[in-house]
Amino acid sequence: MSFGDTQRLVCSATGAYLIGYVQSCRRSLSPLDWLEADFERPDSLDCLGSWEYEEASGQWMSSPSLVDLCPSIPDSEELPILGWVSAEDRNRFHDALRRAERSGDWVGSDHRLLLDGGGEIEVSSYLLQVGSASTAHTIGLVFSCKRQSHRAVSSSSGGRSELRRAEEAESLDESGFIKEIAGSLPETIYVSDMDEQRFSYRNRDFLSQLGYPSSLQGLGLLTLRDVIHASDQAAYDDHRRLLREDRSGEVFEVVCRMQTTSGEWRWYRLRNEVFRRDSTGQAVDIVGTIHDVTDQKTREIQLSEAVEQLQEVEFRLIERQARLEELNRQLAALATTDGLTGLYNYRAFHEKLSEEIRRARRYDDALSIVVADIDDFKAYNDEFGHVDGDERLRQFAEMLRRECREADYVARTGGEEFSFILTNTNAEEAGCFAQRLVTALSSETSSKPITASFGCAQLSSADRTKDDLVRRADESMYQAKRNGKNRVVVAKSRASSKPLG
C-alpha cells in the first residue's frame, strides 16, 4: 500500500473510524478506548459507517458510505443525524443521545434509517460523547443486520451497490477491522499536529519500530522532535516549512535519524502530507508514514565514503603525476641545458641542428650557423682565476641571449665555444649578425674585457651531413683567429672562405 493509499484509507468510508479515533484522542480520550469499547456487537450486525458531531461549533462529519446511502439533510435540522432517523424513532434516538451524555460510555439505540430514493432500514447505533460540556463531541457508529439490509436493497435500487460494498468491506467487527487497518500497513502511520508536533495517532508498527511497547499508554508527551537527531533537526524543520507552505496536497519526504528506546540511532524516511487545515487554510495536522532505511542509508554512507576515498586516492595520483611530470621536465632540462650558463648544451644543439636541416631542405629555406670562440680565454683564467672566468662566461652568454632573435637557437658547445642556429638566414645575414656581436663586445666597459672570433656557414647542397656544415663554420672561426682574432669570417664554399670586413 502506497503512502497516498494510506492517507486515503484514513479519510475513506472504511477509515472514518480512524478519524473518529484521532479526533477523540485530541479530546483526551484514553488511547484505544474508542477502539476497544465495552460493548460486544452481535455477529449479525454489519457496519454501515460512522458520524461525528461537535456541539460548540456545530461541525458535522460523516463517512462517505452513509452520505451516499441516506438522503440529504435539511439545513434547518438542529442535529444533522436526526435527518436520517425515521420520524417515528426520533424520540427514542434522542433519549439515547441524552443517556450517552450522562454516562460517558457507549449507549446503543435501535431505530430505522432513511434511505436515499425512499425506503428504510433497521439499524443499531452506538453513541459515545466525550469532552466537557463546552467541548462535547459525539461519535456514532451505525450497524445493520444483513437480512434487513438485503430487504432494504430491494426497496432502494439507488443504494444497492453501496450496501453490497458495505456488506463485503465491513463484515469484520468494527474494532477488529480498525486494528486490521492499523496493524497490517506495510509502513507505519501516524498523525501529529503541526505546531507542537504531538501525536494524536500512532499505529503499533510505528511504536515497535522505535522499540516502544505496543500499548499507546504513557507516550502522550512524545513528539517527533524528541526522537530526531540534533544534526537532522534543521532538515526536519525545512520539511515542516514545506508542509506548512504547501497548498497543493503534495507529499513531502525527509530522511533523518531517530533514536530508539535502546539508544540506537537509526535512519528513517518520513513521508508527510497535510491531513487537516483550519478555516483559513493553514495546516493543522499532518499524516505520515515512517520507514526504516538504516540498511540502505548505511550502504549509501559507505558508498559515499568509498567514493571520497577513491577521489582522495585519485587526487593524490594526480598530484604525484604532476610531480613526476615536473621532475621529467627538470631532467629533460638538465639533459639539454648547460649548467653554468643556462644555454642549451652540445647535445641539444646537434639534435636541434639535425631537425632544422631536415626542415630547411623540405621547404627549401635558408639556414646558417655561427660558431664563436672567446679569444685567449685560457690566459684570462690564468690571470683572473677560474671563478672569475666562470662569471665572465655567464656574462658573455647573457649578452648572446640578448642579441639573438626569438627564433634563433644559441648553445654552449665547448669550454669557451658557443654556437648559433639561424633559421631563414643566409650566409651574408649570418655574417652581419656575428659582426653585431663583435661590436657589442667591444662596447662593453668591463675592467676585464674580452673578445671573440666568429665563423659563419650557410647550409648548401654539398653538405651531406650536419657535421659538414659544422666543420665549415669551425674552419671559418679558426680562420678568423688566424686573421688576428676579434673578427668574423663567412664561409663561401667548402673549398674556400672569405673574411668579412
pLDDT, tens digit, 9 for 90 and up, residues 29-53: 333 333 333 334 444 456 777 888 8
Q: Could you tell me the pTM of the whole model?
A: 0.43
pLDDT for the residue numbered 359: 96
Q: 113 and 120 in contact (C-beta within 8 Å)? A: yes
**Would 340 be classed as within a structural domain?**
no
Task: Name beta bridge partners: 265.
Answer: 259
Distances (CA, A) of 224 to 259, 283, 290, 381: 10, 17, 11, 91
- Say whether both 261 and 376 belong to one domain: no
Per-residue HEC secondary structure of 16-63 comes to: HHHHHHHHHHHCCCCCCCCCCCCCCCCCCEEEEEEEEEECCCCEEEEC
pLDDT higher at 16 or 86? 86
- CATH number for the domain that contains residue 496: 3.30.70.270
For range 170-189, the mean pLDDT: 52
- Say whether both 277 and 425 belong to one domain: no
**Would 339 be classed as within a structural domain?**
no
- Say whether both 109 and 246 belong to one domain: no
For range 250-272, the mean pLDDT: 89
**pLDDT confidence of 267, banded at 50, 70, 90?**
very high
pLDDT for the residue numbered 351: 94
**Would 404 be classed as within a structural domain?**
yes
- Say whether both 281 and 330 belong to one domain: no
pLDDT higher at 278 or 479? 479
Q: Residue 416 catalytic?
A: yes
pLDDT for 83-94, tens place per residue? 888 888 888 888
**Would 158 be classed as within a structural domain?**
yes
Question: Which distant-in-sequence residues (6+ apart) come within 8 Å of 7 by Cβ?
Answer: 273, 275, 287
Q: Classify residue 101 by burial, with Cβ atoms within 10 Å: 0-12, 13-18, 19+.
A: middle
- Say whether both 199 and 167 belong to one domain: no
Residue with cell 458495505: 166
Out of 120, 174, 273, 416, pick the active-site residue: 416
pLDDT for the residue numbered 134: 64
pLDDT for the residue numbered 222: 64
- Pairing mode, strands 452-458 and 488-491: parallel
- Say whether both 314 and 365 belong to one domain: no
pLDDT for 366-409, tens place per residue? 999 999 999 999 999 999 999 999 999 999 999 999 999 899 99
**Would 181 be classed as within a structural domain?**
no
Q: What integer best gives the mean pLDDT of the chain?
A: 78
- Say whether both 214 and 152 belong to one domain: no
- Say whether both 432 and 489 belong to one domain: yes
**Would 160 be classed as within a structural domain?**
yes
pLDDT for the residue numbered 375: 96
pLDDT higher at 181 or 36? 181
- Say whether both 121 and 236 belong to one domain: no
Residue 136 has pLDDT above 50, yes or no: yes
Task: Report the candidate in 352, 368, 355 with the shortest Cα–Cα distance to residue 460.
Answer: 368
pLDDT higher at 211 or 11? 211
For range 427-456, the mean pLDDT: 93
Decide which of 145, 176, 207 is a domain's last residue: 176
pLDDT for the residue numbered 154: 34
- Pairing mode, strands 497-500 and 107-114: unpaired
**Would 494 be classed as within a structural domain?**
yes
What is the distance between the alpha carbons of residues 59 and 52, in angstroms, rounded to a whole number? 8
Task: Name beta bridge partners: 240.
Answer: none
Domain span holding position 196: 187-292
- Say whether both 139 and 211 belong to one domain: no
Using the Cα atoms of residue 300, residue 302, residue 308 and residue 314 in order, give the sign of their dihedral.
negative
Nearest-10 crossing angle of helices 377-384, 386-403: 130
Residue 442 has pLDDT above 70, yes or no: yes
Task: Name beta bridge partners: 255.
Answer: 269
Question: Which distant-in-sequence residues (6+ apart) come within 8 Å of 405 by Cβ?
Answer: 422
pLDDT for the residue numbered 470: 96
pLDDT for the residue numbered 201: 72
For range 192-198, the mean pLDDT: 79
Report helix, strand or coil for 348: helix
**pLDDT confidence of 483, banded at 50, 70, 90?**
very high
- CATH number for the domain that contains residue 273: 3.30.450.20
**Would 297 be classed as within a structural domain?**
no
pLDDT for the residue numbered 76: 61
pLDDT higher at 191 or 301? 301
Phi-psi region of 352 (alpha: psi -120 to 50; beta: other; left: phi over 0): alpha
For range 218-230, the mean pLDDT: 70
pLDDT for the residue numbered 306: 94
pLDDT for the residue numbered 58: 75
**pLDDT confidence of 214, banded at 50, 70, 90?**
low
Structurally, the chain folds into a number of domains equal to: 4
Decide which of 314, 334, 354 is a domain's last residue: 334
The CA-based angle 248-252-255, given to 5 degrees, is: 175
- Say whether both 78 and 202 belong to one domain: no
Task: Report the candidate in 235, 273, 269 with the shortest Cα–Cα distance to residue 251.
Answer: 273
Decide which of 176, 206, 225 is a domain's last residue: 176
- Say whether both 13 and 40 belong to one domain: yes
For range 307-315, the mean pLDDT: 94
